[in-house]
Amino acid sequence: MKNRNIKKVAVLGSGVMGSRIACHFANVGCEVLLLDIVPKEGKDRNAVADEHLAFALKSNPSPIYDKKFAKRISTGNFDDDLPKIKDCDWIIEVVIERLDIKQQVLANVEKYRTPGTLDHYEHQRHSDPRDRGRTQ
């Protein structure tokens, strides 16, 4: 089996799961791209991911081992920043549990991801265990 060197991870969805997963990858030294939707109101297009991450960082117990590790996490939104997943070694999907939304997100992922990267799509955990984690 080929060894993988995971340096950069994209986490798609910054909710309960996504924000914590982002912190744990930052804990182990990875650069993390954390994306979520553009909010319906307001000018800050990254506000959803920023607010979710801030909430996670303030939670107790904290998912981040040292506050300085949080600098490894960059936030963004699906509309502006999804092309950046081309530089990620691992793409993790943890958006809302709605099949139609997940299918749309994953169709967009396929446009930008680099073949050979490792992907984990959360819906697959609930549907077919044989599909957990996929490499192509």
Q: Check residue 100 and give left, alpha or beta (phi > 0: left; psi -120 to 50: alpha).
A: alpha
Check binding of 122 to ligand NAD (CB under 6 A). yes
Minimum CB separation of residue 126 from ligand NAD in Å reads 6
Q: Nearer to ligand NAD by C-beta: 2 or 132? A: 132
134-135 and 118-121 beta bridge pairing: antiparallel
- Tokens read off for 44: 């800050």
- 36-55: contacts with ligand NAD (CB under 6 A): 36-37, 48, 52
| By CB under 6 A, residue 15 contacts ligand NAD | yes
Does the protein bind ligand NAD through residue 95 (CB under 6 A)? yes
In the set 44, 80, 97, 131, which binds ligand NAD (CB under 6 A)?
97
Copy the structure tokens of residue 59: 């939670």
User: Shortest Cβ distance from residue 94 to ligand NAD (Å)?
Assistant: 4
Binding segment toward ligand NAD, per CB under 6 A, in 13-21, 26-34, 79-87, 106-114 = 13-21
Q: Which residue is nearest to ligand NAD (CB)?
A: 15
Q: Which of 71, 98, 129 is nearest to 13 (CA)?
A: 98
- What one-character-per-residue DSSP string does 38-104 give? PPSSSS-TTHHHHHHHHHHHHSSS-S-SSGGGGGGEEEEEHHHHGGGGGG-SEEEE---S-HHHHHH
Residues in touch with ligand NAD (CB under 6 A): 13-18, 36-37, 48, 52, 94-97, 101, 105, 122-123
